[in-house]
Structure formats: structure tokens, C-alpha cells
Chains A and B, each alone.
Chain A
Amino acid sequence: MVDWELAVKIFLFGLSTVFGSLAALIGAIYAFGRILKLLEKKGN
């Protein structure tokens, strides 16, 4: 007997986590890119 409730939970949580974590990573990449640029400007 398939536990459909668990299956739907895995699907919803799984797909949103995949997108959420990669979106967070995009944000992090832009953020540290900006910080590095600022630091380089200050250094110059």
C-alpha cells in the first residue's frame, strides 16, 4: 500500500527545496560578488 500522503509531501517539499536552495545560492553568488567588488574598490 503506497503512502500517498508521504509521496505528495516528498514531491512538494523536494521540488520546492531544490528550487529554493538553488535560488538561495544564486542570491549568495550575487552577494559575495558584490562584496568582493566593493572590497577591491576600497583596496584600490
Chain B
Amino acid sequence: MLDMVLATGFIHLTLGNLVMWLIAFFFIYLAIRKSYEPLLLVPIGFGILIVNLPLTFLMEEGEGLLWRFYHYGLEWEVIPPLIFLGLGAMTDFGPMIANPKTLLLGAGAQFGVYVAFFGALFLGFSVPEACSIGIIGGADGPTTIYTTVHLAPHLLGATAIAAYSYMSLVPIIQPPIMRLLTTEKERKIVMKQLRPVSKREKILFPLVTVVVICLIVPASAPLMGMFMLGNLFKECGVVKRLSDAAANELMNIVTIVLGVSVGATMSAAHFLKLQVISVFIMGIVAFAFSTTAGILLAKFMNFFTKEKINPLIGSAGVSAVPMAARVSQLMGSKADPKNFLLMHAMGPNVAGVIGTVVAAGVFIALAG
């Protein structure tokens, strides 16, 4: 009888497990009731829950099911590049090709990455750990995961959750900063309608980009290569089946495995540490500075450009596609209901993804 009781999980439950259950339920609640990144928070929340059930050994090295997902999916660097393949197949680079200077806004918005990087160093994190924390400021979940697995795998749960949480909180974090840094007059700037982009340009773009970026930062090739391959599938028009598979079935499957694997790294023993709180604090610092830098760079560019840029689109340089662009649109239309900024903001928004991948590539090359 005693053996039977000992074989159940009840008496092995710890307070830490119960706290992690609450965190799991909170994420699942946020996903279901508030629609905050539900595609990720549901599997992440569930992963947290089941990995904190005693005696299940789901993360037992070499044996556990979730360990296999984590090991072969994340440690072998398979899942983040596949997510990028899907993202590429869903991304329209047209607005960015039509107005290439908005690429600079995507670069400017990476500034927060380096602010958080130094912040983390001052808090006592090592250089590789600081790189993993800093990259949260790029607001790009798969890139954050990819960088963390490379440089500081023990922080994976914290950085991934921070990245996805802040991405879902973009509509709350960004508007106050946008209001603070722009005048009413600037928010009312109407941008010229974008020119139509030809099919040829859209086909050439992924080919040119992969060559240019991977020659400059070879370490970005796994993510950038898959991103541009997915985009080529979409734009070339002759592999619709592959494009659909990358954007739908494959994307959905890898999202499930990614979410559960990330959640599974959050056992009580690994997650309930002071370090994790520091990661979350630095994450929001990174986000705020990235938003600020994007807006200020747009204002700075207005000194030199003939056609004025509405600084509200600068904040979209943090990746968080398309949420950040939607926030720019919303803020712009509040200032002037006739102002339509969404397509203009999509340029820096997708440029931000490229910028974050480049920043991650440099981190991995120098700190790895």
C-alpha cells in the first residue's frame, strides 16, 4: 500500500511545482481569455504544467518525451529555422522594397538590444547570458530562442517567455512612449502612397538579401536562409504547395513542438530564481529602448529626407510582426482619422526581423 502511494506524484509535489502550475494556468488564461499570443502561450503553458508534475520524467535526459522535443528540436537548432521558413512564406516585403530607407528604422530599433545587453552585464550576467537577454529587445521569439539555445540554454524558459509576453504587450508598452516622443503635428504627417512593387522585384529580393546578409554575417545563415527561402516560395508563384505547407501545416507543427519544448524547460528548479526576474526587467528595458530608438531615428531622418516620415512608424522597427505596425496605424489614425500608416509601418516592421537576425548572428559569432 505504501509503495503504491509512493509511486504516485502527490507526495512528491513541492511548493515550487504548485507555483509553476499557477504560472502555467496564468499563461493559459492569458491566451484563452485575453488572446495574448495564444498559438504559443497555450502550448507553453501546458508544457510548464506537465513538466511540473512529479515523477513524469518528461525532461529526463535521453528518455523523456519533452527532452527529445527539446534536444532534437531546439538544441539541434531545427525548429527556429523552420519557424523562419514559415514566416518567410507569410511575409510581404513589398512595402519595404517600395521604400527601402525604412530599413534603417529596423536597424535603429535594435538599439534596445544593446542597452539591455549592457544592463544585464551590470546586473552580473556573463557576456553570453547578456546576449541572450539583450536579444529580447528585438521582439522576435524564434531569434531569441535560437540565440539563447546557443549561448545560455539555462535561460531559455525566461528569455522565451519574456520575448513572447512583451510581444503580446506591444499595444500596451509602445503607445505611451510614442505619445511622449512625438508631437501632435508629427503624428499627423501623411506619407506618400507607396509605389506598386513588381513581381520580379519581389522574387529578386530574397535572393539578393540572403547573399548580402549572409556574406556580412555568416552566422545568421540558418535563420536568414530559411526566412528568404520561405519568401521565395511565396513570391516565385510556382511552388504554391511548398509555400502553403511552410506557412500552414509545417508552421503549425513546429509551433506546437516549440511551445511545448520551451514550456518544458520551466521546471520549478530552473525557473524560480531571482535571475529570472532580472531577465524580465531587462526585457522590458530592451523593448522600451528599441521603441524609443526607432522613433528618434525616424525624427532624425526627417532632417535629411525630402518626403517626411511619420515618426510613429519608427516604433514598428521592433519586429513583433504585425502587431507593432498595427500600433503605429492605430496611433496615426487617432491623430488624423484619414491617415493610413499600416503599409508604411510594415517596412520597418519586417526590416526589424532582418535587423534582429543580424544582431543575433553577431552575438553568436562573437560570444558563442
Contacts and interface: CB of A to CB of B under 8 A. Distances in A.
Physical interaction between A and B: yes
Interface of A: 2-4, 6-7, 9-11, 13-15, 17-26, 28-30, 32-33, 36
A28 B212 contact: yes
Contact of A18 (B127, B201, B355): B355
Interface string B342-368: 000000000100110011001100110
Contact of B354 (A3, A10, A25): A25
A24 B211 CA distance: 11
A32 B121 CA distance: 42
The 4 closest A-B pairs by CB, nearest first: A14-B362, A22-B107, A29-B100, A26-B100
A15 B110 contact: yes
A22 B204 contact: no
Contacts of A26: 100-101, 103-104
A7 B97 contact: no
Given A25-B213, A32-B204, A9 B107 contact: no
Given A22-B107, A26-B101, A36 B118 contact: no
A43 to B, nearest CB: 11
Contacts of B208: 25, 28-29, 32
A9 B201 contact: no
Nearest to A33: B201
29 contacts: A10-B366, A11-B117, A14-B359, A14-B363, A14-B366, A15-B110, A15-B111, A15-B114, A18-B355, A18-B358, A18-B359, A18-B362, A21-B212, A22-B106, A22-B354, A23-B103, A23-B107, A24-B216, A25-B212, A25-B213, A25-B354, A26-B104, A29-B97, A29-B208, A32-B201, A32-B208, A36-B198, A36-B200, A36-B201
B217 interface: yes
A26 B359 CA distance: 17
B131 interface: yes
Interface centre among B101, B111, B216 (most CB of A within 10 A): B216
Contacts of A30: 100
B325 to A, nearest CB: 17
A21 B201 contact: no
Given A22-B351, A25-B103, A10 B131 contact: yes
B209 interface: yes
A18 B367 contact: no
Contacts of B362: 10, 13-14, 17-18
Contacts of A22: 103-104, 106-107, 351, 354-355, 358
Most buried by B among A2, A14, A18, A28: A18
A29 B358 contact: no
B161 interface: no
A39 B90 CA distance: 29
Contacts of B205: 29
Given A6-B367, A26-B100, A33-B201, A11 B212 contact: no
A14 to B, nearest CB: 4
Contacts of B117: 7, 10-11
